[in-house]
């Protein structure tokens, strides 16, 4: 039986790859710049609407390529203005993306996977397991959809890769998405407006240090010792704190950049004065800042949020040791859009996928 060759997706192609694909089909390479502008600057989702292209080229694009765009399945607004988008993908899987206004810049929080393999003890997304990675087109597609839905295509915004999934576990597609976002004929996003959050997958973290498009880096620590962190972040049993901190010390940073160490505070687990002192000693010598995140409690998370007094005490001790520290204001908790609360019911990994996750975890 003959098989139908899958058509390339315009949303998945970097501009050089699109130039090559056009040339193979007898079209001039410069049309890739025009197509990028239509997709990313004008929000077009149909090649037929690219009116400065010839009719012949538009017909060819419709015949030889696809242009997939996530669909908004549900949109919720928090009392604080945060908005959560449930997006349906082409294979009918779902992910969540979040818009956080006034932060002080507008911020899009993007997902990089359907679910997550890291299984952090305080994160609802990890309870899903990993269903699959997102493509670069699906990662950038979230920006396309949110920019249109929020009438922000001409407005400046920041991006944080802190939604569903571990970005460095989906390394190649995540980096490809960053290159598409940075393209001068697309969104032209400065890497300094993009922050990538990771639990610290060491081989991928070392690769990241060599990338030409270098986002801001946030490392999810959550504990000052390997014993504590191994209970909260299972991948720590494979990549320990000493190795992660060593990579951070060697990570290339420009003059104004710092690595952010994220630390979710759990009542009675990692919020003691001793923990604060250990944390300050751990990050000493790294050009960094600590971002404390009081737990966003939710059904299914077996921990409690510390008191405001405990949070203030922890922050004060870390600061007294010469470390820059901030406390993240929780946004969107009433619609389950805050850090660690993203979960899509019915998208859990299959038994085979769960076995693959166990094999990865080592």
CA separation for the pair 352, 356 (Å, rounded): 6
Residue 73 burial (10 A CB sphere; 0-12, 13-18, 19+): middle
- DSSP assignment string, 66-108: B----EEEEEEE-TTS-EEEEEE-TTS-EEEEEEE--SSS-EE
Q: Is 339 a catalytic residue?
A: yes
User: Which of the residues 96, 166, 173, 262 is marked catalytic?
Assistant: 96
Q: Would you call 160 helix, strand, or coil by DSSP?
A: strand
User: Which of the residues 109, 166, 339, 347 is marked catalytic?
Assistant: 339
CA separation for the pair 232, 227 (Å, rounded): 9
Residue 122 burial (10 A CB sphere; 0-12, 13-18, 19+): buried
Helix (H), strand (E), coil (C) string for 8-20: CEHHHCCHHHHHH
Q: Would you tell me how many other CB atoms lie within 10 Å of the CB of residue 232?
A: 20
Q: Is 248 a catalytic residue?
A: no
CA separation for the pair 99, 77 (Å, rounded): 9
Element (H, E) at 148: helix 136-149
Residues with catalytic function: 96, 339
């Amino acid at each position: 039986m003959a098989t139908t060759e899958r058509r390339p997706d315009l949303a998945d192609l970097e501009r050089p790859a699109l130039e090559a694909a056009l040339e193979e089909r007898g079209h001039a390479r410069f049309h890739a710049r025009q197509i990028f502008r239509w997709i990313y600057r004008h929000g077009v989702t149909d090649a037929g609407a690219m009116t400065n292209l010839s009719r012949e080229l538009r017909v060819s694009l419709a015949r030889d390529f696809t242009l997939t765009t996530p669909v908004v399945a549900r949109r919720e607004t928090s009392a604080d203005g945060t908005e959560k988008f449930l997006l349906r993908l082409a294979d009918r899987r779902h992910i969540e993306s979040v818009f956080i206004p006034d932060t002080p810049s507008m911020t899009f929080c993007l997902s990089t996977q359907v679910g997550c393999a890291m299984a952090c003890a305080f994160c609802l997304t990890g309870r899903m397991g990993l269903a699959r990675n997102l493509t670069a087109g699906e990662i950038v597609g979230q920006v396309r959809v949110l920019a249109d839905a929020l009438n922000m295509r001409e407005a400046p915004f920041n991006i944080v890769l802190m939604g569903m999934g571990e970005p460095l576990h989906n390394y190649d597609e995540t980096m490809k998405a960053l290159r598409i976002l940075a393209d001068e004929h697309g969104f032209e996003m400065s890497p300094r407006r993009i922050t990538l959050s990771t639990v610290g997958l060491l081989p991928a973290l070392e690769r990241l240090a060599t990338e030409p498009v270098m986002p801001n880096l946030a490392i999810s620590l959550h504990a000052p010792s390997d014993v504590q962190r191994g209970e909260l972040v299972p991948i720590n049993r494979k990549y320990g704190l000493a190795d992660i901190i060593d990579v951070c010390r060697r990570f290339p940073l420009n003059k104004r950049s710092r690595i952010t160490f994220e630390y979710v505070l759990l009542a009675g687990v990692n919020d003691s004065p001793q923990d604060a002192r250990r944390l300050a000693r751990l990050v000493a010598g790294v050009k960094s800042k600590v971002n404390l995140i009081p737990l966003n409690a939710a059904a299914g998370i077996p921990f409690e949020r510390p008191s405001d007094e405990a949070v203030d005490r922890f922050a004060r001790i870390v600061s007294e040791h010469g470390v820059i520290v901030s406390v993240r204001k929780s946004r969107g908790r009433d619609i389950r859009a805050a850090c660690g609360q993203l979960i899509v019911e019915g998208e859990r990994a299959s038994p085979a996928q769960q076995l693959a996750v166990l094999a990865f975890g080592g």
